[in-house]
Amino acid sequence: MQAFTTLSAIAAPLPMINVDTDMIIPKQFLRTIKRTGLGVNLFDEMRYDEQGNEKPDFVLNKPEYRNAEILVAGENFGCGSSREHAPWAILDFGLRCVIAPSYADIFYNNCFKNGILPVQLPQEQVDRIMEYAQTTPESKVHIDLEYQIVKLDNNESFSFEIDPFRKHCLINGLDDIGLTLEKDKSIQSFEDDRAQNQPWL
Amino acid sequence: MSQPRTLFEKIWSDHIVHKDEASGTCLLYIDRHLVHEVTSPQAFEGLRLAGRKVRKPEATLAVADHNVPTSDRSLGIKQEDSRIQVETLGKNCEEFGIQYFGLNDKRQGIVHIIGPEQGMTQPGMTIVCGDSHTSTHGAFGALAFGIGTSEVEHVLATQTIIQKPANNMRITIKGKTGPGVTAKDIVLSIIGEIGTAGGTGYVIEYAGEAIQDLTMEGRMTVCNMTIEGGARAGLIAPDQTTFDYLKGRPMAPKGENWDKAVEYWSSLPSDDGARYDKEIVIEAKDIVPNVTWGTSPENVVPITGNVPDPANAKDASQRASMERALEYMGLTAGMRMQDVDIDKVFIGSCTNGRIEDMRAVAAIAKGNKVAENVYAMIVPGSGLVKEQAEEEGLDKIFIEAGFDWREPGCSMCLAMNADRLEPGERCASTSNRNFEGRQGRGGRTHLMSPAMAAAAAIKGKLADVRDFQD
């Protein structure tokens, strides 16, 4: 997994609440057996018309936001299905960070497995960053995960909370499975106890 | 005296392999893992690349459901990428030694239907699947939640998951429900009340007389849609109804083990005085047959009600969201729900594809005809549901009434296979999500119970099932 430490990038504003994973990546793109290549279909139905042409008014189609690496969105971002294709599509497009007031649990969790930082900030602070991204698209948003800070070009800054274990894994790009396998003895003894006490399992 | 504990706390503490005291993060043991074709190929590929094995193949069961055709299967799967995905699952299961119900196995069906049907889902277990509707299995008093593909790989490799405990919420449905009110109406009412993010960070335990009165099928419907309220898992305390459902199923405990299991299962219900972080009480008599009007499962309205007005939204972002939903749905504020014409009906899904749902549809369909301009499909949740329905003669009632009786799968709940809405088409659906494009690009979904969907099929518009009942 790619580590996440700092990021200075254009932020694309998507002022919508309840952006669901069907919007992020519609089901017809879930037939893949790979993790890559989904970026072109990120937000497919909002981004393209029925003939497959770009809709010019969609934020990621606007020239000033095409190279965005940060997405700013409304509450309950990523609700719906557990499809990890949603963060895969976000990452494949080139976005490394989402800023929103709240997230759906499964999506939030999936981000960390893919080197994406989901920053959670109070509504009024997200509103401020949203406005900044809308009014000064050329300005960058700066994220520092170590110090848990989002900073704007005008030096306004916002600090965010994050679970220390997730932060540690993200900063170091750690593979969860490798970490867990180090506890193999504990798993084995748990299984042995179980076989003894709950033989029907 | 030990402190009173909730059902969730009991299951959680019985599955901790390791706890990091500083952060509270736990390594949690997973008893059962369900696998399907869409969210697993990348996980198996990850195992192969790292040279890892599946730690406990016998705790894992796989089936293809999302991509499978619900028409004649003798022709195989036409869509190439779908076929490759399904074939990949079969090959992966063979390579890693996992039991797989193939397309022509009568036990094949939607992953959340077949787990309980086989008796794989049992009280007190931890169960995961790369699908958000894994919450369904909570109906048995099992802690069951959806995970992403990276976590699927993690569970395959280690039989554990890294997680922090959730908060406890209890939703009590007091008293008895009225006529025409089903489990679907109960859960739609709940989501309408708490909102799609109301359960975020919680595990929801459903309690109260109206919940206890539900069959296992009904309990599964309620727990299934827990994720639509933002909570990863729903729970219902196991009781005699649960044990009766499980007894004799192929994967349920047998003989002496059955008695031991029942003894353990009986210890699981929350203790008196257990503490919940949040409590919600709903009077069952206030719940009526519901439908959704918008593009979020929280957009719930009684069938006797009208399309709401964005002018009454609580804030600007909600208003914008309601306006967008009305435009997408082609509805205007104030319109009577019962005046909304439909084009298609979809009956099925992991929410409402069980035998009881089939019976509810047959009860309304019997002696009636599907309206002229409506195409209505019924997709049983599994081959065994199909077989049972046919043994009871329900298929004849459906066909006689003009319904299309199909092969099992997820079908038009998410429209990954060939079953889908065309742009602008409106559907009365027993599925779980009415998101934009969910049942096909530009398609318009109204969620409701199977009986209500059958009533809509016959009337050609959204209808109150109580008008069909004596």
Over residues A107-158, the pLDDT tens digits come to: 999 999 999 999 999 999 999 999 999 999 999 999 999 999 999 999 999 9
Q: What integer best gives the mean pLDDT of chain B? A: 97
Cα angle, residue B228 at apex, residues B440 and A112 outer, rounded to 5° = 90
pLDDT at A48 exceeding the cut of 60: yes
Beta bridge partners of B261: none
Instruction: Work out the pLDDT band at B241, boundaries 50, 70, 90.
Output: very high
Taking CB atoms and an 8 Å limit, are B441 and A23 in contact across chains? no
Nearest CA in chain B to A182: B158
pLDDT at B51 exceeding the cut of 60: yes
pLDDT at A28 exceeding the cut of 70: yes
Query: Is the Cβ of A33 closer than 8 Å to some Cβ of chain B?
Result: yes
Q: What integer best gives the mean pLDDT of chain A? A: 97
pLDDT at A176 exceeding the cut of 70: yes
pLDDT for B52-105, tens place per residue? 999 999 999 999 999 999 998 888 899 999 999 999 999 999 999 999 999 999
Query: Is the Cβ of A201 closer than 8 Å to some Cβ of chain B?
Result: yes
Q: What six digits make up the tokens of B382?
A: 């599994």
Amino acid at B218: G
CA distance B329 to chain A (A): 15
Portion 131-160 of B in contact with A at CB < 8 A: 131-132, 134, 146-151, 153-154, 157-160
Q: What is the mean pLDDT of residues A35-64?
A: 97
pLDDT for B360-413, tens place per residue? 999 999 999 999 999 999 999 999 999 999 999 999 999 999 999 999 999 999
pLDDT confidence of residue B1: 56
pLDDT confidence of residue B470: 64
What are φ and ψ of residue A66, in 5° steps? -60, -30
- Residue spans per domain, chain A: 6-172
* ipTM metric: 0.95
Query: Is the Cβ of B436 closer than 8 Å to some Cβ of chain A?
Result: yes
pLDDT for B327-337, tens place per residue? 999 999 999 99
Distance CA A110, CA B203 (A): 19
Spell out the CATH class of A6-172: alpha beta
Among A17, A164, A183, select the one facing B17 at the smallest CB separation: A183
Q: Which residues of B touch A30 (CB under 8 A)?
A: 38, 66, 416
pLDDT confidence of residue B23: 86
The contacts of residue B142 (CB under 8 Å, 6+ apart) are: B11, B121, B122, B123, B124, B125, B126, B127, B235
Q: What is the mean pLDDT of residues B421-425?
A: 97
Beta bridge partners of B162: B27
Among A105, A165, A176, select the one facing B154 at the smallest CB separation: A176
Distance CA A155, CA A130 (A): 16
Place of tokens 């069906």: B109
pLDDT at A185 exceeding the cut of 80: yes
Instruction: Work out the pLDDT band at A64, boundaries 50, 70, 90.
Output: very high
The contacts of residue A124 (CB under 8 Å, 6+ apart) are: none
Question: Are the C-beta atoms of residues A24 and A93 closer than 8 Å to each other?
Answer: no
pTM of the model: 0.97
